[in-house]
Chains A and B, each alone.
Chain A
Amino acid sequence: MESNNMIEVKNLTKKFGDFIAVDDISFEVKQSEVFGLLGPNGAGKSTTIRMLTTLIRPNDGTAKIGGYDVIKQDSKVRELIGLVSEKMIMYDRLTAKENLKFFGKLYNMPDSVLNPKIDELLEMLNLSKWKNSKVGTFSTGMRQRMNVIRALLNTPQVLFLDEPTLGLDPQSTVEIREFIKKLNREHKTTIILTTHMMNEADLLCDRIGIIDKGKIVALDTSANLKKTISGNGTTILKLEIPNLTSSLLNTIQSVKCVNSVSQENNSHIKIHATGDDAFDLIIDAVRAKKGKINSIEKLEPTLEDVFLKITGREVRDKADNKIVMKHGPGPKRFSQKQRVR
């Protein structure tokens, strides 16, 4: 390898019929880096992962893992990587050990290496007790830990994690995140993970690529991404107005300095505004309409705010049913469906 880039992606594109799932994306991931692809469902995260893990072929562009081309040298790539997919890669009718032995043997691992490796990983993720139980009887958290173990059998240099904590209880989520950090710290494993959870990306990733509608719209460290907001004079305010009405909301929106208003519940609103006098202008507008202000709080920008600023939308599942009101165009909601293949 000429550089210390573990992954090099150039103009990668994937179409499904007329639908462009991944649109001409390019990025690099350094060795031992934790790289996050952040975006809403259907943004193209999984499709990108599937192309990088040689599961599907791109329509255009190239990608190299450890210097090997994902199309021309796919077997070489497969030897280097491990995949924790969104779906559980486990056979319910087989026991934990049977599952791991099956997958380990696909990597040509002899028993003398494979058996200790299985024991070690089961021990590390607290599953030793369940070694001979069928995976079908496992809880979701246990299954996801199994999924991680499976991906680590061949001691991969690059580990891909597609929504690794999706649908997990808080405790399992913390466990998996801690494990990812430990793996990166102790084994220098390069990690590329996708998530739609802002705090997860913030917590785990050295650098984050924000992906929306198949394109990478921003790519930097979490701190730098947030600076793009605070740096250009954006203020984020959280107001508690007990007598909040829709006309009052409209008034706030029409204040010149306000970029966007989002309602969090019956009395709380979050406002993005620019300018030094934003604070005063907003309070004046609320008071003028006889709005009562119970509390006011200035918030530090989050990745969510970054995404909102870049795309004009929140990174939320449709089910959350949150309305984002923008200055200018009317409320927008997500309408993309999740595409995995």
Chain B
Amino acid sequence: MMSHSFRIAWKDLLEVFRNRMGLVLLILMPIFMMVMVGYIYPSDSSVSNVTVALVNEDVGYGGYTNASSTLIAILDTVTSNTDSITLTEAASFDELRTMIQRGDADAGIVIASDFTTSIMNGQQGTITLVTDQSNMQMSATLQAVLEEVFDQLGTALAQQNVQNLGVDPSNALAVVQPYNVETQGAIEGEFTYFDFVAPGIIAMTVMMSVMTGLPVAISEERESGTLDGMMVAPISRTAVILGKTLAQIGRGLLQGLIIIAIAVTIFGVTIHGNILLVFALLLLCVFSFVGLGIVLTSFTKDQETATMLMSTIMFPMMFLSGVFFPVEQMPWFMQAISKCLPLTYVADSLRKVMILGADITMLTTELAILIGFGTVMIAVAVPVFKKAITS
């Protein structure tokens, strides 16, 4: 039986290799995915090329407006030192709003009319950040950057005030900000966003490869009649399924290999864990999807329906499995769905190995779930497929 399965697998792979266009796409698709995901999503909280409009409503206190003008002077210095933020002026809040609506400004800063008054009287001076709600992602980032700037300005001011109260200058910062927070990654080294998305994209591409490859490998044979050629031969039905499974595993692994090579050579991704463990996980990834793919294909009459069904299943999987967005950010019911998807565990364990350098003993839960899912699916697939082809 095994020899028949190998024959069928070899034949399937030969067909894949003879399809030039398909081979090119096999290489191009992961490159596109990496480029798109890697560059479109902000790699860190930096912003570039944004314009911030400033409205100074400060009326001053006793003829003085020194608090706001100092602030503006420092802001000017800060922004002129980077080319990421350009500071312009707006006469009023209304003008600021028009500028944002027109797209002339990305955000605004409004200094309250009683700013100097409040500061002079020992009160807090109010600065309002105006954001552009049509671009949430950008607003959030910009808000964080500006808050940080004002936070530092505020700290500097406070430090000076404390110093004026007679505190030793070397201790002034500690009085104002007793805690010093530093951030450090669990693993040493430089990380880019590519490092974060690469494991997910590898898992996803391998999944897509299997899920789109199966309708071609099964439905097309059924439609074109070539499946009959195998079925009239004295071979077991299980051998056919096994052959198809082997071919998909081969194809999936090949695609995984291609995308890892691309990730490492073109996008500078570093694999911190054991490379063999990465391949073992890919193998498990293919294994867990082949059964699912066969079951789904068996339920459909033709290749077109099968392909559509696959896409319908694939898209939610891609978005809910934490490949692009962290699962923790999702509402509880989506998190629950995410926990049921095998792709979640593949992406998760690949990330642990590739970024954190985890070894096999740290992945027992994920491995158990994937092996379990794959085995159950194959066990379901065999009878379902047999029934589908002899109805």
Residues of A participating in the B interface, judged by any CB pair closer than 8 Å: 53-57, 75-76, 78-79, 81-83, 85-91, 93-94, 98, 102-103, 105-108, 134, 150, 154, 341
- Whether B224 lies near A102 (C-beta < 8 A) is no
**Which of A75, A79, A83, A93 is B228 in contact with, Cβ under 8 Å?**
A83
Q: CB of B352 within 8 A of chain A?
A: no
Contacts of B232 in A (CB 8 A): 53-55, 78, 81-83
Q: Is the Cβ of A89 less than 8 Å from the Cβ of B225?
A: yes
Whether B233 and A94, one on each chain, are in contact in the complex, defined by CB atoms closer than 8 angstroms, is: no
Question: Given the complex of chains A and B, what is the CA–CA distance between A83 and B18 in angstroms?
Answer: 27
- The CA-CA distance from A87 to B225 in the complex, in Å, is 6
Q: Is the CB of B15 within 8 A of A93?
A: yes
- Let me know if B11 is at the binding interface, CB within 8 A: yes
Inter-chain contact B225/A102, CB cutoff 8 Å: no
Contact check, B235 vs A87: say whether CB atoms are below 8 A apart. no
Q: Is residue B329 within 8 Å, beta carbon to beta carbon, of the partner chain?
A: no
A53 to B4, CA, bound (A): 20
B residues in contact with A102, CB < 8 Å: 7, 11
* Complex CA–CA separation, A90 to B11 (angstroms): 12
B224 to chain A, nearest CB (A): 6
Partner of A88, one of B225, B390, B391: B225
21 A-B contact pairs sorted by A residue (CB < 8 Å): A53-B228, A54-B232, A55-B231, A55-B390, A57-B390, A78-B233, A79-B234, A81-B232, A86-B225, A90-B226, A93-B15, A93-B19, A94-B14, A98-B11, A102-B7, A102-B11, A103-B233, A105-B4, A106-B230, A106-B233, A154-B233
In the complex, how many angstroms separate the beta carbon of B87 from the nearest chain A beta carbon?
Answer: 63
- B308-328 residues at the A interface, CB under 8 angstroms: none
Contact (Cβ within 8 A) B226 A94 = no
**B229 touches A (CB below 8 Å):** yes
Which residues of A are found within 8 Å of B18, using beta-carbon distances? 93-94, 134
Which of B's residues lie within 8 Å of A, judged by CB? 3-4, 7, 11, 14-15, 18-19, 224-226, 228-235, 390-391
- Excluding A81-B232, A87-B224, 14 further A-B contacts by CB distance (< 8 Å) are A53-B232, A56-B390, A82-B232, A85-B225, A88-B225, A89-B225, A89-B228, A90-B226, A93-B14, A94-B11, A94-B15, A107-B233, A107-B234, A134-B18
Does the CB pair A106–B4 fall under 8 Å? yes
Distance between Cα atoms of A36 and B250 in the complex (Å) = 45
B306 CB to nearest A CB, Å: 16
Instruction: Give Cα A94–Cα B19 distance, bound, in whole angstroms.
Output: 10
Check B7 against A91 for contact (C-beta < 8 Å). no
CB pair A54–B11 under 8 Å, yes or no, is no
Looking across the interface, which residue of chain A has its beta carbon closest to that of B11? A102
| Complex interface: chain B residues within 8 A of A81 (CB) | 232
A54 to B7, CA, bound (A): 22
A88 in contact with B224 (CB, 8 Å): yes
In this complex, the member of B226, B230, B232, B235 whose beta carbon has the largest number of chain A beta carbons within 10 angstroms is B232
Question: 6 nearest interchain CB pairs?
Answer: A87-B225, A89-B229, A106-B233, A93-B18, A78-B234, A83-B232
Q: How far is the CB of A30 from chain B (nearest CB, A)?
A: 22
State the CA gap A81–B7 with chains docked (Å): 21
Q: Cβ of A55: which chain B residues have Cβ within 8 Å of it?
A: 228, 231-232, 390
Chain B residues with CB under 8 Å of A79's CB are 234
Residues of A within 8 A of B231 (CB): 54-55
Bound together, the chains give a CA A76 to CA B228 distance in angstroms of 17
Instruction: For B391, list chain A residues within 8 Å (CB).
Output: 56-57, 341
- Bound complex: CA of A25 vs CA of B296, how far in Å? 35
CA A55 to CA B225, docked complex, whole Å: 11
